Amino acid sequence: MNDEVRTSKLDELRVVHRPLARHDQAEKIAGTTRYAGDLVLPHMLHARLVRAQVPSGRILRRDVSAARELPGVVDVLLGEDIPNNEIRVDVPGQTIEVQPLRASMQVLATDRVRFHGEPIALVVADSEDVLARACSLVEVEIEELPVVSDPAAALAEGAPLVHETGNLLAEWTIDRGDVDAALAEAAVVVEGEYRTQFVDHAYLEPEAGVGWIDDDGVLTLRVATQVVEHYRDVARILGLPEAKVRVIAPYVGGGFGGKEDMTVEPYIALAVWRTRRPVRMQWTRNESLLARPKRHRMTMRYRTAAAADGSLLAQDVEILADAGAYAYLSALVLLYATVHACGPYRVPNVKIRSRAAYTNNPPASAFRGFGGMQVVLGYESQMDALARRLGMDPGEVRKRNALVRGDRLPVGQELITEVQLPQTIDAVRERAGPKPQPSGPRRVVGRAIASNFQSYGRLVWLNDSAAAWVGFQADGSLTVRCGVPDIGGGQAFSLGQIAAEVLGVELERVTVHFGDSALTPLAGTTTATRQLLMSGNAVYEAATALRANLLAAVAAATGDPVESLTLEPGAVSGPTRRVPIEEVLAICRRGNVPVEALGTFFGPKGRPVTRELAGERIFPDFTFGTHLADVEVDLDTGQVRVLRYIAAHDVGRAINPKSVEGQISGGVVQGLGQALLEELVVRDGVNLTPGLFRYLMPTAADVPDIEAVVLESGEGVGPFGARGIGEPPIGPPIAVIPLAVADAIGVQITALPVTPERVLAAIASRRG
């Protein structure tokens, strides 16, 4: 077995694998957690952005004099006031690998605006009350330019240019085997075109933060973020040394990728730096919907060839992604879509061409699933189409083609861990039993399954790393320091569990300090389902090193061999005697043995890819799963009700089973939102979704219980054999819902969301 692969046996685990209630939840439930927008500082100022009201135009004039004169206004900044007016999206996090993402935008636009909501001026005032009027007094004259709001149109000859460099932002290809020959010889070929929509993260906490200058002149930002390493970006914008900027991430009110790119950070920093006073910025929900990057909408064309027995012979895939007005992480999102495009199946001949285009729509960037989820709609719809054509069972077609350890993905990566995809298919079906009956006349019921795979951990050539510090206090309690932001998934708590497990400490005696770029070892982004893998392994390594120190010191003191010693709560036990932890620590101090350790975990390595992807490892590993849904369709109104939902994933080893179930039910419901309800509507570049009254995310009444089936192969590249589960559950819902509806009405809806209106139109098309 590959030496990266970790495993664990259940009977050896004491703290890990227990469904423990998290201490951070207790604070949140008591209402005492202080989120980014809750902090108030003396003499704090307030800041707000003036944003473009048109999607495309040339800025002719900006006049801030009237705003400056309004009583209460302290400062008004334009792009020219910024030392380096550029947000460059390299690859944020604990890596210095700068990628050619071509992702650059102005902090404040000076001459050109490219989307509705783009920031133009920053107003700072001594009261929130002044800001509405002050912003309206900033005069901005814009000559409107042609708008391009469709990615296909953007790539057509003569389209208005969003950027002078051209509208093609990124392109990836995979070419493996002979697709044309396979298509020609195949028993069946099925074709389909599928569309996904713009989706908003819609976390409950809109972007917010407070900044100040501390006693050592360090610009400090306490903001809702998934990435404390943005301190480097802020430093670059302000022309400061990196060490003079500090970012603290308190508990974050939801991230899902939406707080991966910077939001309020540069603006708070600028306002603080100019005024030398504490500043708070709180985006409204309207601003959040308007200006923070969305999930890419994609158009996916599939041609799938199979033999008569259902074996896949070829996939021919074209993907076009709408990247909106600025690049952000689009090139990487598109890469994920490309690598995941064939699903968890063995395909000998593959041709994939994917492109992302600039438009004057809101920018698109990271969102849970990160391009790997949109394609689930494509490849799973094709699998069902294939099953129908061949008269085969949908589960059998999937099982016949399921990847196994040692297989290579179309991109060339070899799978190094066990794949339990067939087990997830069996698990959801066994649990489901027979298909339910309709609840009344003019109603029909449908059932479908959808499988997926999703990477966990960052792209291997990014040279990802995470560091963590673990140390004993004099009273025998344990402190963990790790720069991980906790965005609600229990990231910090899981680290405490791992440290407690390795060091034989009661969990109640572990304190985790997290999310501070100055005081906790940098651990990288809480993104890409990487924290358990990276920071978990860093804590594991630090704790393991510390454990070795302690045992060696006790062995020297007692004369017991090291192998005979065990760490247990409150003591080290050996054949001679049981040494209480306080005494162990004293022995260490007398013997110059450190009672703390820094662990750094380095992710798997790989070479940077070129546009033509071939033969390379891309990701550390993948998580596999299958979902099953029963739906009922009202034939008169088109309304769809999800009757039953079962989701099975192999998570390798569940560090905290309750957190795993929470990630599954939460991810599924977010996916159901995209499947059935949500769409950020943009027309000709104008955002028509001003508030949550129009952005329709699921309520408790819209979804059924999500029955999570947690399979544990006991194998993965995370600590104790854990696999990441943050992102994987969001993909299957966007396929399983249209497929279940198709089972009910006999026609597949290929564009999301599956609205009642689309359902009625589909029923009508069947009649026609």
Partner 1 sequence: MSEPMTMDITLTVNGRRVAATTGAHLSLLRWLREVAGVTDPKYGCGEGVCGACTVLIDGELASACLVLAAQVDGASITTAAGLCEPDGSLGALQRSFHEHHAAQCGFCTPGLLVCAHALLRDARGRLSRQEIREALHGNLCRCTGYQPIVDAIEDAQSRGVQG
Partner 2 sequence: MFVTPFRYARARSFAEACELLRSEPAPAIPIAGGQSLLPMVNLGLVEPATVVDLGGVREARQIVAEDGYLRIGALARHADLERDELVRTRQPLLADAVRWIGSPRVRARGTVGGSIAHADPVAEIPLAMTVLGASYELRDGAQARTVGASDFHLGPFTTARAPEELVAEIRVPVLGPGWGWGFTEVSPRLGDFAIVAAAALVRVVDGRIVEARAGLSGVAGRPIRIGAVEVRVEGARAEDLEDRVGEPEGLEPIDDEVASAEYRRQLARVLLVRALRRAVERAGGSGR
Q: Which of 129, 193, 508, 612 is in the footprint of partner 2 by CB under 8 A? A: 129
Out of partner 2, partner 1, none, what residue 28 binds, judged by CB under 5 to 8 A for its kind, is: partner 1
Out of partner 2, partner 1, none, what residue 692 binds, judged by CB under 5 to 8 A for its kind, is: partner 1
d(CA 546, CA 527): 28
Q: Which of 282, 424, 687, 689 is in the footprint of partner 1 by CB under 8 A? A: 282
CB 197 to partner 2: min, Å:
12
CB 548 to partner 2: min, Å:
53
d(CA 137, CA 135): 5
d(CA 454, CA 671): 14
| Binders in 645-664 for partner 1, by CB under 8 A | 658-659, 661-662, 664
Cβ–Cβ under 8 Å, residues 204 and 253: yes
Cβ–Cβ under 8 Å, residues 426 and 449: no
Q: Select 231 or 645, whichever has its Cβ closest to partner 1.
A: 645
SS3 628: strand
Tell me which DSSP letter residue 292 carries: S
Calculate the alpha carbon distances from 454 to 176, 370, 450, 451, 662 in Å.
21, 9, 13, 10, 18
CB 113 to partner 2: min, Å:
20
Q: Select 34 or 442, whichever has its Cβ closest to partner 1.
A: 34
Out of partner 2, partner 1, none, what residue 756 binds, judged by CB under 5 to 8 A for its kind, is: partner 2
| Of the candidates 486, 508, 489, the residue with the CA atom closest to the CA atom of residue 497 | 508
| Binders in 200-219 for partner 1, by CB under 8 A | 201-206
| Of the candidates 490, 488, 480, 492, the residue with the CA atom closest to the CA atom of residue 520 | 480
Calculate the alpha carbon distances from 278 to 41, 221, 273 in Å.
7, 10, 9
d(CA 659, CA 486): 13
Locate the DSSP E strands across 383-532.
Answer: 443-456, 465-472, 478-482, 510-514
Residues 104-133: x where in contact with partner 1 by CB under 8 A, - otherwise, as a string: -------------------------x----
Q: Select 196 or 755, whichever has its Cβ closest to partner 2.
A: 755
Q: Select 598 or 696, whichever has its Cβ closest to partner 2.
A: 696
Cβ–Cβ under 8 Å, residues 458 and 523: no
| Binders in 683-702 for partner 2, by CB under 8 A | 683, 688-691, 693-694, 696, 698-699, 701-702
Structure tokens at 731: 């993909």
Q: Select 612 or 636, whichever has its Cβ closest to partner 2.
A: 636
| Of the candidates 71, 76, 161, the residue with the CA atom closest to the CA atom of residue 120 | 76
Residue 367 near partner 1 by CB under 8 A: no
Residues 285-314: x where in contact with partner 1 by CB under 8 A, - otherwise, as a string: x-----------------------------
Sign (positive or negative) of CA dihedral 496, 250, 246, 459: positive
Size of the site for partner 1 (CB under 8 A): 60
| Binders in 5-34 for partner 1, by CB under 8 A | 19, 21-22, 24-34
The one-letter amino acid code at 281 reads M
Residue 284 near partner 1 by CB under 8 A: yes
| Binders in 472-501 for partner 1, by CB under 8 A | 487-490
d(CA 429, CA 656): 25
Residue 256 near partner 1 by CB under 8 A: yes
| Binders in 704-733 for partner 1, by CB under 8 A | 705-706
| Binders in 30-59 for partner 2, by CB under 8 A | 48
Give start and end residues of each alpha helix (H) in 117-185.
128-137, 151-155, 179-185
Calculate the alpha carbon distances from 300 to 220, 332, 337, 394 in Å.
44, 17, 10, 21
Out of partner 2, partner 1, none, what residue 98 binds, judged by CB under 5 to 8 A for its kind, is: none
Q: Select 436 or 756, whichever has its Cβ closest to partner 2.
A: 756
Residue 439 near partner 2 by CB under 8 A: no
CB 131 to partner 2: min, Å:
5
Out of partner 1, partner 2, none, what residue 681 binds, judged by CB under 5 to 8 A for its kind, is: partner 2
Out of partner 2, partner 1, none, what residue 84 binds, judged by CB under 5 to 8 A for its kind, is: none
Q: Select 170 or 668, whichever has its Cβ closest to partner 2.
A: 668
Out of partner 1, partner 2, none, what residue 132 binds, judged by CB under 5 to 8 A for its kind, is: partner 2
Stretch that binds partner 2, among 144-152, 241-249, 328-336, 632-640 (CB under 8 A): 632-640
Q: Select 385 or 487, whichever has its Cβ closest to partner 1.
A: 487
Structure tokens at 583: 């005494």
Q: Which of 282, 288, 361, 665 is in the footprint of partner 2 by CB under 8 A? A: 282
Cβ–Cβ under 8 Å, residues 429 and 601: no
Cβ–Cβ under 8 Å, residues 444 and 454: no
Q: Select 569 or 662, whichever has its Cβ closest to partner 1.
A: 662
Out of partner 1, partner 2, none, what residue 24 binds, judged by CB under 5 to 8 A for its kind, is: partner 1
d(CA 727, CA 664): 9
Structure tokens at 751: 């564009």
d(CA 664, CA 730): 8
Structure tokens at 642: 């999800």
Question: b/e string for 58-68 if b means 16 or more Cβ within 10 A?
Answer: ebeebebeebe
Q: Which of 243, 637, 765, 766 is in the footprint of partner 2 by CB under 8 A? A: 637
> What distance separates the 2 farthest-apart alpha carbons in the chain?
87
Residue 72 near partner 2 by CB under 8 A: no
Residue 117 near partner 2 by CB under 8 A: no
156 φ, ψ to 5°? -75, 155
Helices (H) and strands (E) in the chain, counts: 18, 33
Q: What would the DSSP string read from start to end of 556-585?
A: HHH---GGG-EEETTEEE-SS-EEEHHHHH
Stretch (H or E) spanning 426:
helix 421-432
SS3 707: strand
Q: Select 127 or 765, whichever has its Cβ closest to partner 1.
A: 127
Binding residues for partner 1, rule: CB under 8 A, are 19, 21-22, 24-35, 37-38, 40, 129, 201-206, 251-256, 282, 284-285, 487-490, 658-659, 661-662, 664-670, 691-693, 697, 699-703, 705-706
Binding residues for partner 2, rule: CB under 8 A, are 48, 128-129, 131-133, 135, 282, 284, 286, 636-639, 677, 681, 683, 688-691, 693-694, 696, 698-699, 701-702, 756-757, 760
